Structure 1
């Protein structure tokens, strides 16, 4: 015997018929089983009302993690991937494209500041390339007014990257 899974719409309809106390019990029970569920619930309850402060906290945490980066390329790449997983988790919690762009640009700036310019380790280089490409794709999806705000930061990022790394060519990433 297996438990059948229901769609989100079915669950939503069923939750609407439950009293508030029972919904609270279900949320707490759900939070008990997975750390990520607990983190999401904590974000929604305590942090979601002030997204800019939360973004600044994430930026500070990312900056600290970058400052602790190991000097060996292989270990640095592993640590940077860990930072990216953390950013992805927080972006998923927020569900905001502008916040994601802001965090990715901050990530890339930290990458420029803390990684070794002589590093020829290809996986380490590809991390920056992928994040720049992802940022460009996200900017293109925004409304024109919002695009203008982020294009300047993005172009500055491209200029800095080309200055620091001989293998980075900004013409490949222009919007």
Structure 2
């Protein structure tokens, strides 16, 4: 089956009643975990962005604490998983400030990993890639926030 365009879906959804829309949303939530997470964000957490950021940070803390530091292989694997989870949560929010805050937090936590990421090229590249992403996003936020985030970014150096 070939998927139709977003415009066609939007047009079709406008013809549905409220009850039918609720059923479509519930069916989407049952179908895939990401859909359920997006609905959870939209319905419960979008109004409180600060709370959402704190929740994601605490999730990241748990993941960073559970990293197996016996070898760089396991560290890389865990760090990639953390990045994937952060990016998914960032996609739900769609706010540049949230993205910058979460990526800054990720970079800060990366520097705290023992053994140091400085001794591994792949980990260093992941860190630098996220730092570069922050710099690119800085241009799209308010000047005052740009200054604050630039200050935080300058503290994070290898």
Does 1:75 pair with 2:66? no
Task: Indicate whether 1:57 and 2:51 are aligned.
Answer: no
> After the TM superposition, which segments of 4 or more aligned residues of structure 1 sit over 2 Å from their partners?
117-121, 140-146
| CA distances 1:31-71 after superposition (whole Å, capped 9, x unpaired) | 11111111111111111111100100111111121112211
Q: Determine if the alignment matches structure 1 residue 11 to structure 2 residue 6.
A: no
The equivalent of 1:88 in structure 2 is 87
Alpha-carbon distance change, 32 to 82 in structure 1, aligned in 2, over 3 angstroms: same
Residue 128 (str. 1) matches residue 127 (str. 2): yes
Structure 1 window deviating more from structure 2 (123-132 vs 87-96): it is: 123-132
Contact 1:73–1:119 (8 Å) recurs in 2: no
Q: Could you tell me how far apart the structure 1 residues matched to 2:5 and 2:117 are?
A: 51
Shift of 1:145: 3.4
Q: Could you say which structure has the larger radius of gyration?
A: 1
TM-score (norm 2): 0.92
1:110 is aligned to 109
1:15 Cα shift? 1.0
Let me know the Cα RMSD of the aligned residues: 1.5
Runs of 5+ consecutive residues of structure 2 not aligned to the other structure: none
- Alpha-carbon shift at residue 4 of structure 1 (Å): 4.0
1:171 alignment partner in structure 2:
none
Gaps of 5+ in 1: 163-175
Deviating more after overlay: 112-121 vs 129-138: 112-121
**Cα distance in 1, alignment partners of residues 92 and 52 from structure 2:** 11
State how far apart, in whole Å, the 2-side matches of 1:102 and 1:80 are: 17
Structure 1 equivalent of residue 38 of structure 2: 40
- 1:27 Cα offset (Å): 0.7
